[in-house]
Amino acid sequence: MSAAIRHRPAGTGHPYATSPDQRVPLRPAAGEPVRLGLTLDTPPRKPEDPLPEGGPMIVSARCEWVDGETTTTLELAPATISADDAAALAGGDGHLAEAQAAVAGADGGWAVTTPALEAGRSYRYRFTAELSDGTSPATDWFDVSAGEWVPDAGELVLDGAPSLGDRLVPGSGAWFRDATGVHRVRFALRLESSEHVVGFGERFDAVDQRGRALDAVVFEQYKSQGEHGRTYLPMPFAHVVGGAGWGFHVRTSRRTWFDVGARESDVVVVEAALGGAPHERLELALYSGAPHEVLRAFGDEVGRAEELPEWVFRLWASGNEWNTQELVMARMDAHRDLDIPVGAVVIEAWSDEEGITIWRDAQYEVTADGAAHGASDFTYPADGAWPDPKAMIDELHARGIKVLLWQIPLQKTEFDLGPSVPHDAQVLADGRAMVEGGFAVREEDGSAYHNRGWWFPQALMADLSTQEGRDWWTAKRRYLLEHFDVDGFKTDGGEHAWGDELRFGDGRRG
């Protein structure tokens, strides 16, 4: 099979990094040129893997750029990935970023910048290349058009607190529209000089966000969250304090951006992604009053967290290296002997590190159809990592210690597991059942989505948007609650649903 070349207008869907095969910007404005990226369509590869030798390489590449009746040939040149993009794609800086840059370079990144796009015009383009093996692959055709900010392509609805209507800066509303639809909206809200702006969900940099620019998108920033202004748990809600007291909530699950007096000190500029329909609508909820009144009004709308049990507020103990029953009990014995009270222990490395449903070293028969196991299906060898997990949990409970196990909504595949895991292993059988049953997040073409992030690379992602998907996923873990009396789970790593084109079982996208 001959090698192919690849261009993905949206790249990997990474919210903060550009991949070498991407179009930048994805949705250009009138007067902007576009940078078009191209790579070899090679199999996924981990940053730490050795670079392949002897495979075909791109020798030259061209872009057929069609503007109405005129076709222009644009020559591509070799391109390199920036250090910032390499670090973001690798999940951190240092050796991982260097390895990611090497991977991108080995895939033969090439790029070209187009002429500036004109308003009201649509363009088409495709790529052809000459490879070192003598083949000449081509891509499909792609469409792009120049967008403009216009005042009348949608409806901005201000809901609640009529007295706050004058906070909307007159004439600030605008909608970004191109030939395919309306993709963004922006508007400005007036701030008084005495006001401070807090909220926006979990933040690591500052309490008062006035003077800063930030966005709200779920993202796993491995470290330095405050430095980069990124967060796991964003929220398009802001609470304005220090003056009359008010707040606002952008009613959307899509990405939002906020310039909180960074460019103009007396306004908050809000921008929100939209669905691309010919005419879009966005609601902005407004709340007024004292802090407790604003928070109550917001809670009435979106719901409130349930009151947590008292044990949650006691000391939690955890360690990634506590990967055996002996180690866990030794650490808990040490806490007891040192008179350090523990309310809960999180056992991070309890599982086989494959499907994250089975205690490491447990013995069992594989269910080829991915059916859930029961507690009686497992035996635990005396010389294994967890010779008697039930007795361990019972002892911890007797000491007043709750037990939580680590979880992640990703299902490893052969890519991450490697050749040492046989094709009929339980983790791979579960993955096949997940896809066949429709319990995995899907690409636009209906194929299963494979995680594009650096952690659990190429893993399947559980589609928990439907009751059937939730039932299948939880059934695999039910025995841990019903037989072992586990008190809960520490959930991790669910931030990698990258791409607006992804499909969920309940009809949602991205």
Q: What is the pLDDT of residues 81-134, one digit of tens each?
A: 887 887 777 766 655 556 555 555 555 599 999 999 999 899 999 999 999 999
If pLDDT is split at 50, 70 and 90, which confidence band does 257 have?
very high
β 316-318/344-347 pair status: parallel
- Annotate 424-443 with b (16+ C-beta within 10 A) or e (fewer): ebbbbbbbebbbeeebbbbe
| Helix extents (H) in 203-314 | 225-228, 291-302
Give yes or no for residue 264 having a pLDDT over 90: yes
> What's residue 311's pLDDT?
94
> What's residue 88's pLDDT?
77
Which tens digits make up the pLDDT trace of 27-51?
999 999 999 999 999 887 766 666 5
> What's residue 95's pLDDT?
54
Largest CA distance in the chain: 82
* Mean pLDDT rounded to a whole number for the chain: 94
Strand, helix or coil for residue 100:
helix
Residues of the chain with pLDDT > 90, as a percent, come to 86
* Least-confidence region, from 218-232, 266-280, 298-312, 358-372: 218-232
Residues of the chain with pLDDT > 70, as a percent, come to 94
For the residues 378-394, what does the mean pLDDT come to? 99
Domains, in order of start, for the chain = 5-146 (2.60.40.10), 148-302 (2.60.40.1760), 310-491 (3.20.20.80)
Strand order in the sheet with 246-250: 154-159, 280-288, 246-250, 234-241, 196-201
Name the one residue in this structure whose structure tokens are 């620019």: 213
Which tens digits make up the pLDDT trace of 438-476?
999 999 999 999 999 888 999 999 999 999 999 999 999
If pLDDT is split at 50, 70 and 90, which confidence band does 415 have?
very high
CA distance 187 to 38: 36
CA distance 441 to 453: 14
For the residues 361-376, what does the mean pLDDT come to? 98
For the residues 181-200, what does the mean pLDDT come to? 98
Name the one residue in this structure whose structure tokens are 């094709």: 423
174 neighbors 149 (Cβ within 8 angstroms): yes
Which tens digits make up the pLDDT trace of 125-181?
999 999 999 999 999 999 999 999 999 999 999 999 888 889 999 999 999 999 999
Which tens digits make up the pLDDT trace of 55-80?
899 999 999 999 999 999 999 999 98
> What's residue 222's pLDDT?
82
| Helix extents (H) in 211-322 | 225-228, 291-302
CA distance 320 to 401: 18
For the residues 4-24, what does the mean pLDDT come to? 96
> What's residue 104's pLDDT?
55
β 174-178/154-159 pair status: unpaired
With CA atoms as reference, report the closest residue to 426 among 367, 474, 483, 385.
367
Give yes or no for residue 296 having a pLDDT over 90: yes
If pLDDT is split at 50, 70 and 90, which confidence band does 184 have?
very high
CA distance 284 to 165: 11
CA distance 173 to 250: 14
> What's residue 85's pLDDT?
82
492 neighbors 484 (Cβ within 8 angstroms): no
Q: Which residues contact 418 (CB under 8 A, 6 or more apart)?
A: none
Give yes or no for residue 341 having a pLDDT over 90: yes
